[in-house]
Structure 1
Amino acid sequence: MKQERSRDSLITILLPISLIFGLVLLLSLNTGESSIPEESSPLESGLKVIVDYLAVGAEIAAALVIGSAVVRAIATYLRQLFSRSRQHQDATESIRLKLGRLLTLGLEFTVASDILRTAVAPTRQDILNLGAIVLLRTLLNYFLEQEIRQGEESHPSEQERN
């Protein structure tokens, strides 16, 4: 048990540090590629258009998920604030957990959008930019998951009700 805790605390410290280090490293790399666009075939151009539409769809999905989550969280909070219930602290924590889960889903959609945009004929700089973006969003996602897990462990009765 004690060995598991020390391993978990080591992972909790090393993972974010390594992700931040990787992000800084990726952002500091400069490939020196020219910005002159290469000629592409009509098939590749058509594929880029389709993938761009799919990427925009993923971005719209992310915006809808995150926007609806924020509106829902605010409405739930206001309803709880003006109710006569004494469980305000537990309700606030529940709202945070639900919002965190939906923010995580929204982040996954944005990562999918970035991957789609880089899928067709990427340059080395596109791949480095994608790596930096994915690392940053993975770091955000990691901390959100930690918050959700800690909140669920401290309030197991909320999970049983859902």
Structure 2
Amino acid sequence: MLRQWLYALSEPVIAAIDLMALVLIAGATVYTFVTVIALVLSGRARDGHRRRVLWLGYARWLVAGLTFQLAADIIESSIAPSWEAIGQLGAVAVIRTFLNYFLERDVVEIRERDVAFRHPAEGAHKD
């Protein structure tokens, strides 16, 4: 009886968390698409810094969405562990780990470029 109650409770929770991930990813995608179109139409599409900041922001939202999906997958695999659920959980975890690694690397690179651009003397002496 407890197991049935647990299944009944977990299904809407998993669906709600998946919906949250969908809203995050879809919203970020629409925002990024509209912003890219605006950059192109305004002639500022060649501004590498602006593009880079836009893509980094988009990547952050994707990571957030993947984190929500990972949470839903964790709940699902703990309630009804199957090889398919475990495989999906592993795939999402690996993708999220790689995205986080490259996102953090890009954030550091942009910060260093900003410092070098704002204070050229400080950026030149940095080892």
- TM-score, normalization by structure 1: 0.58
**Equivalent of 2:30, from 71, 75, 79?**
71
- After TM superposition, give the deviation of residue 85 of structure 1 in Å: 4.9
Cα distance, 1:67 vs structure 2: 0.7
The question of whether the paired residues in 2 share the 8 Å contact of 1:58 and 1:110 is answered with yes
CA contact (8 A) 2:73 2:85 kept: no
Superposition pairs of residues 43-122 of structure 1, within 5 angstroms: 43-83=2-42, 85=44, 88-120=47-79, 122=81
Greater helix share, 1 or 2? 2
Is the 1:104–1:144 contact (alpha carbons within 8 Å) kept by the matching residues of 2?
A: no
Question: Aligned match of 1:154 in 94, 100, 113?
Answer: 113
The Cα of 1:88 is off from its aligned counterpart by 2.5
8 Å Cα contact 1:62/1:106 also seen in 2: yes
Q: Find the aligned partners of 1:118 and 1:52 in 2 and give their Cα distance.
A: 12
- Say which of 81, 85, 97 aligns to 1:138: 97
Unaligned runs of 5+ in 1: 1-41, 158-162
The answer for unaligned runs of 5 or more in structure 2 is 117-127
Identity %: 24
AA aligned to 1:91 is R
Q: Is the CA contact (8 Å cut-off) linking 1:52 and 1:116 kept in structure 2? A: no
